[in-house]
Amino acid sequence: MLEDVGTMVAAGICSFKPFMAYRGVLMACDDVLTVCMERVP
């Protein structure tokens, strides 16, 4: 999904929601959260 952030922003998506709950199911680790915050404008 991170590779598609630019395309999603260009399409008008203005918010992204990484989950920090539900360990083993939806939980994003700290490394993934850091990369997300660096890539999302």
Full domain range(s) for residue 34: 2-39
DSSP string for residues in 1-41: -GGGHHHHHHTT---------STTTTPPPHHHHHHHHHH--
What sign for the dihedral angle of Cα 24, 30, 40, 21?
positive
Domains in the chain: how many in total? 1
**Neighbouring C-beta atoms of residue 41, cutoff 10 Å:** 6
In this prediction, residue 10 carries a pLDDT of 92
In this prediction, residue 7 carries a pLDDT of 92
pLDDT surpassing 80 at residue 1: no
In this prediction, residue 31 carries a pLDDT of 86
Q: Which residue has the higher pLDDT, 7 or 32?
A: 7
pLDDT in tens, 14-36: 888 888 887 878 888 888 888 88
